[in-house]
């Protein structure tokens, strides 16, 4: 059946959905949630059906397309598309198998990932697959197969420069912008680091969000090859490069559910490292937000080592303290300013961020046999200005212009959270600080967030400022204050 396109000008946030008039649906014997295939020239798209009960909502002879379907078909208002009933994808039977607690073969995993990448699964079916992995777990073989399949379905970068090194933190710690310090230190020491990073999903800022305040982070693969050749490294948004595209779709479903299946996390990280041809990997596992105990951290580290061995990647794993935020700034602009201060050896440098970055940089330099005194070498590179010089080279190569910390625009609507008594900071909640910063507008409002004046263990007097909430407008500042109050300010003070 041929129908004319009606642009609904609505996005679902990922799922492909179309809208039909009830009479047209009855004529084709279609029902709510049926799959239909849309054809426009050489382009095809599978979508889920919604049905309008009145002609006012959807006229007869037209089909309403949500933004995701319009983009997929490159369709415009009043153009003609053909629709047909679509069969259920093969992968549904394999998802059901996983839901029953059975192991999947590589072929079955391939089919599931293929259908995820091609948007053949509904949001319910994709969610079911994720929950099945989360509930029943994955075997070592399944994790390895999933890693390889996700790598093969995305862009695989091949760089002339050898060897390629990379780094990653499994995350969860606000303000942990070590990437923007470690990369220029290691590149200044002669390593080649094509770093692809994520944007924030549930955090106040991702590395890509923070780096974007200094330079362009969206580049195509051919351009990245030029940048690596020119600067020796880069820090870009991985979503633009299309590395392991199935993983990006899975993460979007995991985030609102606040789940992170261990096997999926392992495959996610290692598939992206394999995609950039990494031969050496520095991996951080912070104890606190995602990984609660050292025993759990050791178990995850063992899995990473097994995967790395199979993928022929040499891996250095560091288990760190992730019990509180790192640095002072939480939010894109505040974190970017911290990083610039640190690279400039400014008095306002966050000491914890500097120490952690130097320690991790030093261990990677020793692991790659660049020196036997890694920490000292990294410190010299930083304090002589070589790391800043290298960062400037990376910023320019990615199309940016050099900024000073003072040029970074911070939200000017502020509220100081002060101590209610004299004592010692006993706890700063990662989850509370993240939520307050997000409600205040971060990361969408780049100048929003939190600036910490105190950390765990610091002495504080009654009335002294613990942290300042920054927002770009009064309304979001009020939301941030209300949220902070409801979370008891995210701070515990003891004697």
Distance separating alpha carbons of residues 147 and 246, to the nearest angstrom: 11
Cα dihedral across residues 250, 267, 154, 204: positive or negative: positive
Chosen CATH of 2-85 out of 2.40.40.20, 3.30.70.2340, 3.30.465.10, 3.30.43.10: 2.40.40.20
pLDDT (mean) for 121-130: 89
The CATH class, in words, for 165-256+274-405 is alpha beta
pLDDT at 469: 98
182-235 per-position pLDDT tens digit: 999 999 999 999 999 988 877 899 999 999 999 999 999 999 999 999 999 999
pLDDT (mean) for 444-466: 97
pLDDT (mean) for 173-181: 95
pLDDT at 328: 97
Would you place residue 155 in the very low, low, confident or very high pLDDT band (cuts 50, 70, 90)?
A: confident
The tokens describing 389, both together, are 């010089």
pLDDT (mean) for 385-414: 97
What DSSP line would sit under 283-352, residue for residue? EEEEETTTB-SHHHHHHHHHHHHHHHHHTT-EEEEEEEE-SS--SSEESHHHHHHHHHHHHTT-TT--HH
**pTM of the entire predicted model:** 0.89
Query: What would the 3-class secondary structure string for 14-32 be?
Result: CCCEEEEEHHHHHHCCCCC
**Whether the predicted pLDDT of 395 surpasses 90:** yes
pLDDT at 154: 87
pLDDT at 454: 97
Angle, alpha carbons 78-84-90 (nearest 5°): 130
Distance separating alpha carbons of residues 371 and 491, to the nearest angstrom: 41
**Whether the predicted pLDDT of 258 surpasses 80:** no
46-103 per-position pLDDT tens digit: 999 999 988 888 999 999 999 999 999 999 999 999 999 888 899 999 999 999 999 9
Would you place residue 435 in the very low, low, confident or very high pLDDT band (cuts 50, 70, 90)?
A: very high
What mean pLDDT, rounded, does the chain reach?
A: 93
Task: Choose, from 260, 321, 416, 445, the residue flagged as catalytic.
Answer: 260
| Residues 181, 373 contacting (CB under 8 angstroms) | no
Name which residue leads in pLDDT, 365 or 15.
365
Return the percentage of the chain with pLDDT > 90, whole number: 82
The 3-state DSSP class for residue 259 equals coil
**Whether the predicted pLDDT of 309 surpasses 90:** yes
CATH architecture of 91-137: Up-down Bundle (1.20)
pLDDT (mean) for 136-144: 93
For residue 260, indicate whether it is catalytic. yes
Would you place residue 242 in the very low, low, confident or very high pLDDT band (cuts 50, 70, 90)?
A: confident
CATH no. of 410-494: 3.90.1170.30
- Over its C-alpha atoms, the chain yields an Rg (Å, rounded) of 25
**Whether the predicted pLDDT of 256 surpasses 90:** no
Domain edges within the chain = 2-85, 91-137, 165-256+274-405, 410-494
Would you place residue 457 in the very low, low, confident or very high pLDDT band (cuts 50, 70, 90)?
A: very high
């Amino acid at each position: 059946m041929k129908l004319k396109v009606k642009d609904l000008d609505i996005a679902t946030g990922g799922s492909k959905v179309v809208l039909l008039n009830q009479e047209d649906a009855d004529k084709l014997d279609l029902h709510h949630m049926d799959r239909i295939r849309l054809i426009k020239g050489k382009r095809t798209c599978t979508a889920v059906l919604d049905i309008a009960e009145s002609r006012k909502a959807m006229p007869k002879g037209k089909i309403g397309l949500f933004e995701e379907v319009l983009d997929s078909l490159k369709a415009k208002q009043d153009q003609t598309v053909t629709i047909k009933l679509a069969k259920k994808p093969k992968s549904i039977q394999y998802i059901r198998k996983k839901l029953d607690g059975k192991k999947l073969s590589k072929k079955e995993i391939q089919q599931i990932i293929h259908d995820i990448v091609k948007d053949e699964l509904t949001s319910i079916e994709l969610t079911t697959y994720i929950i099945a992995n989360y509930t029943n777990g994955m075997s070592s073989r399944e994790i390895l197969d999933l890693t390889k399949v996700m790598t093969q379905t995305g862009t695989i970068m091949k760089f002339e420069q050898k060897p390629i090194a990379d780094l990653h933190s499994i995350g969860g710690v606000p303000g942990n912008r070590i990437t923007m310090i470690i990369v220029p230190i290691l590149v200044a020491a002669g390593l080649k680091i094509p770093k692809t990073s994520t944007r924030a999903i549930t955090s106040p800022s991702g590395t890509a969000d923070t780096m974007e305040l200094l330079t362009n982070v969206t580049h195509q693969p051919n351009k990245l090859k030029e940048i690596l050749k020119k600067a020796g490294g880069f820090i870009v948004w991985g979503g633009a490069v299309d590395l392991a595209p199935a993983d990006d779709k899975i993460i979007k479903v995991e985030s609102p559910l606040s789940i992170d299946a261990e096997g999926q996390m392992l495959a996610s990280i290692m598939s992206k490292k394999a995609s950039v041809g990494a031969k050496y990997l520095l991996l951080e596992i912070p104890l606190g937000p995602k990984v609660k105990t050292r025993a759990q951290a050791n178990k995850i580290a063992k899995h990473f080592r097994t995967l790395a061995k199979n993928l022929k990647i040499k891996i250095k794993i560091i288990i760190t303290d992730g019990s509180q935020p790192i640095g002072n700034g939480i939010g894109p602009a505040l974190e970017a300013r911290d990083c610039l201060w640190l690279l400039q050896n400014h008095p306002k440098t966050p000491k914890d961020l500097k120490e952690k970055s130097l320690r991790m940089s030093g261990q990677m330099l020793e692991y790659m046999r660049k020196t036997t005194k890694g920490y000292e070498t990294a410190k010299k590179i930083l304090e002589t200005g070589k790391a800043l010089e290298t960062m400037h080279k990376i910023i320019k190569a990615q199309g940016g212009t050099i900024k000073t910390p003072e040029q970074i625009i911070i939200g000017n609507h502020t509220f100081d959270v002060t101590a209610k008594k004299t004592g010692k900071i006993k706890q700063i909640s990662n989850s509370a600080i993240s939520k307050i910063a997000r409600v205040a507008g971060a990361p969408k409002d780049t100048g929003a967030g939190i600036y910490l004046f105190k950390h765990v263990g610091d002495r504080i007097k009654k009335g002294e400022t613990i942290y300042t909430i920054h927002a770009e407008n009064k309304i979001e500042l009020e939301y941030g204050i209300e949220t902070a109050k409801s979370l008891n300010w995210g701070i515990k003070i003891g004697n």
